[in-house]
Structure 1
Amino acid sequence: MDNLYALLVMSAAASGLYVLLRLSRRWTHRYFRATWHYYTHVLLYSFFLLPYFKLVPLLGLQLPHVQPISLGTLAPGGSPAAAGYAAFAFLDLLPYLAAMGSAVFLAVILVQNSRLHRRVFSLCEIADDPEIARALAACRKELGIAKNIPVYLSPYTSTPFLCGIFRPKIVLPAALDFTPEEYRHVLLHEMTHYKRRDLWLKCLLVCINALHWFNPLAYWARRDVDRYCELSCDEKLVQSMDSTERKRYCELLLTVLWTAADQRVRLYSAFSSERKYLEGRIRMILNSQHVTKKRAVRAVATTLVLAVIGTASAYAASGGVSQDAGAPPRELPEGAGVISVQYPDGTVKSYDRAGNEVPPQAKEHAVPQPIDAATQQQIEEVLSEIRAYNEQGLPAPQAHLDKLNELYGIKPYATK
């Protein structure tokens, strides 16, 4: 259960960071490059996986945190109320439900990718065009890639893409006839993805998304990582281009998009997307500038601030989760309240207000005494009198409460 609570804390912290980035997007787009947005969103997504908040105690920092919410209401005398017992039973099922959701998510992704792979490669053939071979060799030399990545032509794809983690390959649409310069641009784009290991990162993000299948913001954040991945790749390509070459590169994007729209194929890959995203992509290509020292310092500082905010908020929400899992329950301080739970099998356990089980040496005050029929009748009479006071809007006299504790065999802790 602690692992599930930690997962929920990480999900909430990462979601909060994502919302913060979304709200500040107008400002960040003005001052920061697409590459900064890409790696910042990757850092943000790592908050879904890594418990950074556990570093706070290790660094000796003292930050405030809130106590976890106590679930379930317990009846007097150690018998759990129906609602409380149902809550405990449901909580026991949550880890299994979370694991089941992750398994279903991954199964759906695998089936979708398997179908896409079979469709695309059903009539796929190796590209034997000498123009493609020359462009591929030039791109490998320019990027310093020794591995020979094959290029395929497929009639069932409308946009170029890179696929295959262990055996990478570039797939081009057979219906499009590119010029030598366009082949160079397309292959440079896809081979840049290969050099940066973007496919490996996307696979990792899918696995993280599977853990947080219940959080819609995890899906939106992964979509934004994919988009900024394409933008940062474009940005790297156009750094050495003049304005004329950049315009031709934008024309290439529009040509591919127009062809895909004619075939009524939904747009997913690097060279296609929704209208607003495409407009922003073209605007970035035409206006991309070199990084100045001032902007670099500002970008690093902003990233550090976001990381600190995410870590601090996760630690504040974690409560006792950041403690060592093997640590014994903390000692019950004098004057703290204790509640006893009697389970259906007759087992009696006591807990403090934070939900920690009371150590054996402190349980002697919390174990309820057996109640006979006569005592139960007296309890009902006292409870009836207390209800009568409550119906009149009056507090129950202390003597009635003391009598009720005495009948239940509970010795209250002395308060300081």
Structure 2
Amino acid sequence: MSLSAGDLFDLVRTGAAGSRSDLRRLSGLSRTAVTARVAALAEAGLVVLGEDRPSTGGRPATGVMLNAEAGVVLAAAVGRSRTQVAVFDLAGRELAAASLDHAHGSGPEEVLPPAVRRLAELCADLSGSGPVLGVGVSLPGTVDPARGVSIDSPVMGGWDEVALAPYVAAVEAFAEAPIFVGNDADVLARSERMGHAQEFSDLLVVKASTGLGLGIIAEGRVVSGHRGAAGEIGHTKVDDAAGLPCRCGDTGCLETVAGGWALVARLEEEGRPVDHVRDLVARALTGDAEAKHLLRESGRRLGDVLGVAINLLNPEAVVLGGDMAGAFDVYAAGVRESVYARSSALATSGLQVLPATFGDRAGVVGCAAMALDQVLRPSAIDARLVQEKVGPVGLEPTT
């Protein structure tokens, strides 16, 4: 079957093609077919035509580039005590960002309206940034991406089965933008598609913050599992936590001895003034021995469970993200200690433990990547061209 204009756009967007001749070579389409499809993309403002490239024989190759200014996507990474919001162009570059704190356990009514208003303010400050093409939102716990709702977020009260789209649509400029919802660990993994996944095809991406989660990249694809519940490492039962109550309502979960909330509770019991795991990390970075000990122990206990995943999935690297990874050297030392003790020599041969590429921005970067992958996928581009009637899309075979 002949490739459509959306397929050619994807070759340009991913960097596989940078000229019409590249598109002809990769697609097998005729010069006329490629020219027509590229013209439709250019008329829609999705690509821009650059200067002719030097000829290697025959006609010069006309440069074709993604028009990153053709629109924006919005990102909102909702955490247990903080929501990060940002605006990105179509090349995935962050244009503006903000952070909003909220009380633990806040519901959507307390969190989403101020977050959406802040996004509207950011867009207003970016005059001429183009239309909002999509919105990516991440939540802790399991989500149903098809319906755009949380289905199991026991530590985020009041979110389950609540449709998020109406909150976004309350702002007129966002009303037509589709919303895409993902698990917080999954979007962290998606951020690495623009980071470490460009070097490694198989990664385990840990989110170690108030809670613990795991994103999985296998052969370059993010794996979410049945019902999106892959990677719930924080609620794996471990012997060290036997009988300890978890915030999920169960007992014996890894989070009760290794989650950020549990570490903060221990310091509070000792009379140490900390409000969040970020305070614990700040203490560790200034040399506080107890804070460093707690973070290393958390990493070690996480590594006990992570070692099993490494044996099963054989990743090339483990990426540590989230607030606790802010003290990377301390936390990673604990992870390595257990991983190398628990995993097979073959599974750990050449294994690397790396910090998240985008640090504490990884959540919003991953939300943007999720939205971009959806609104710029070939079928979405073809549908847009048909709707705008800008020219041949090439959905039918063309010779």
Structure richer in helix, relative to its length? 1
In which range does the TM-score fall when normalised by the shorter chain? under 0.3
Larger RCO: Structure 1 or Structure 2 (Cα < 8 Å, ≥ 6 residues apart)?
A: 1
Higher Cα radius of gyration: 1
With structure 1 as the length reference, what TM-score do the two structures score? Answer: 0.21
Structure richer in strand, relative to its length? 2
With structure 2 as the length reference, what TM-score do the two structures score? Answer: 0.22
